[in-house]
Amino acid sequence: MLRAIFLIVSLAALLLAPMTASAEPVFGSDLVFPLKSHGRPHGSSIVETDNGKLLVTWFSAKVETDSDAEIYGSIHDPIAGKWGAPFTIVPKTYAKSVGNTALFRDDDGMIWMFFASVMFGGWSGAMVDYTQSRDGGVTWSHGKNFVGWLGNLPRNPPVRVGPDEMLVPLFVDFWYEVGLIGSYTALIRHKNGVVVEKTYATLDDPDAIQPTAVRLPDGRILLLMRDKTDRFIRRSWSKDNGRTWSPVTMTTLPNPGSGICAIYVEEAGVVLLAYNHSRKGRNPLSLAVSEDGGKTFRKITDLESRPGDKTATFDYPAMTRTADGMIHMAWTHDNRATVKHAWFNVEWLKEKISEAR
């Protein structure tokens, strides 16, 4: 009898082993769709649905803010191990043009997608709208306005700051060339998919745009921002869930006027940042970490790199974590030829951190 019990327990352990987190470094990548098969994609976002699948969204247009722009999505089936065919979420008839997407899954499993809705002209004529999905990204509601002032856009996803509360990072691009820009946040309380309260807070540096928000273990919110002047990534902190922000300061990480994204990885105790480690050009696409809540950063690896190629671009990264602990990224790949997806575990990240010491 004891031997039989031992065999049953051993067999159960073997069957359950593949379901546990791997102790070995894991890294992989694929393309959401083949190169140059679906327009010129940009401004992607990525989130896990409540049924364990991945959803990626992006916009595609021949030229940014042109009238042919549409927002698309693709769903990755983990069992089949592949991405589904791209489908339209926001058609070109919605507005004069559309842009940047930012995904968030709330406490009820509803997915929110914030996006830029251009009324006329270029980005100076944009407002922030949103649409929602209750079935994992398959179908979507008609868009609603979120910010009704011209020259406002999203870039990175909101972060959860409490039950039915999210902080939405946003920025102004009313007249980029003369500096009518800057970052701000919207703290919202929602109920059953309806926004019931909204509080705005602005930052004091007009050159800091396209913020990405990270909730730190001590309850503070770290905001990291693209530098309009192509110098260094900016930062600010909030102690009150984004109601107020500290003065903006610079990190030592270069920024060539390109998008960034960041998350907090508890097991490694780091803020993980994806960015272009360059003062000119969106090549390479790199990862950096901060072990002190955003005070200091150091580069740990390149995800994409073509040394000497001044035309190569790998930019606008988006990042999320899934229930199995994996870290997933999506970015505009190879001069807007496709959206690339990569995934890695905490062990891979810790290995890169160790190698970079």
Residues 6+ away with beta carbon under 8 Å from 328: 46, 48, 54, 319, 320, 321, 322, 341, 342, 343
Distance between CA atoms of 170 and 353, rounded to whole angstroms? 30
**At residue 17, does pLDDT exceed 70?**
no
**CA pair distance 150, 251, nearest whole angstrom:** 30
What's the whole-number mean pLDDT along residues 6-19? Answer: 38
Inter-CA distances, 48 with 51, 106, 110, Å: 8, 11, 11
107 pLDDT band, cuts 50/70/90, is very high
Residues 298, 303, 304, 308, CA torsion sign: positive
Residues 6 or more apart from 240 whose CB is under 8 A from it? none
Q: What is the pLDDT of residues 242-264, one digit of tens each?
A: 999 999 999 999 999 999 999 99
pLDDT digits over 329-352, tens only?
A: 999 999 999 999 999 999 999 999
Distance (Å, whole) CA 57 – CA 63: 18
On whether the CB atoms of residues 122 and 139 are closer than 8 A, the answer is: no
With a cut of 80, say whether residue 161 has pLDDT above it.
Answer: yes
12 pLDDT higher than 80: no
Q: Kindly report the average pLDDT of the chain as a whole number.
A: 93
The stretches of the chain forming alpha helices (DSSP H) are 2-16, 346-355
Instruction: Determine the Cα–Cα distance for residues 22 and 28; give it in Å rounded to an integer.
Output: 14
Q: Give the tokens for residue 279.
A: 């003062």
Q: Say how far residue 186 (Cα) sits from the centre of its chain.
A: 17
In whole angstroms, what is the distance from residue 116 CA to residue 129 CA? 6
Q: What 8-state DSSP symbol labels residue 349?
A: H
193 burial via Cβ count (<10 Å: 0-12, 13-18, 19+): middle
Tell me if residue 200 falls in helix, strand or coil.
strand
Number of H helices, E strands in the chain: 2, 26
Mean pLDDT of 108-136: 97
> How many angstroms separate the CA atoms of 300 and 356, rounded?
5
CA distance 112 to 17: 35
Instruction: Say if CB 290 and CB 271 are below 8 A apart.
Output: yes
pLDDT digits (tens, 9 = 90+) for 30-87: 999 999 999 999 999 999 999 999 999 999 999 999 999 999 999 999 889 999 999 9
Q: Which phi and psi angles does 106 have, rounded to 5°?
A: -85, -175
| Spatial contact of 176 and 189, defined as CB atoms under 8 Å apart | no
For domain 40-355, which CATH number applies: 3.40.50.12780, 3.20.190.10, 3.40.50.10800, 2.120.10.10? 2.120.10.10
Contact indicator for 76, 341 with CB cutoff of 8 Å: yes
SS3 162: strand
Structure letter (DSSP) for residue 59: E
Residue type, 270: V
Q: What is the pLDDT of residue 7?
A: 39
At residue 179, the pLDDT reads 67
Q: Which helix (H) or strand (E) holds 347?
A: helix 346-355
Which one, of 352, 350, 316, 357, lies nearest residue 46 by Cα? 316
Query: Which pTM value belongs to this model?
Result: 0.93
Q: Residue 286: count other Cβ atoms within 10 Å of its Cβ.
A: 22
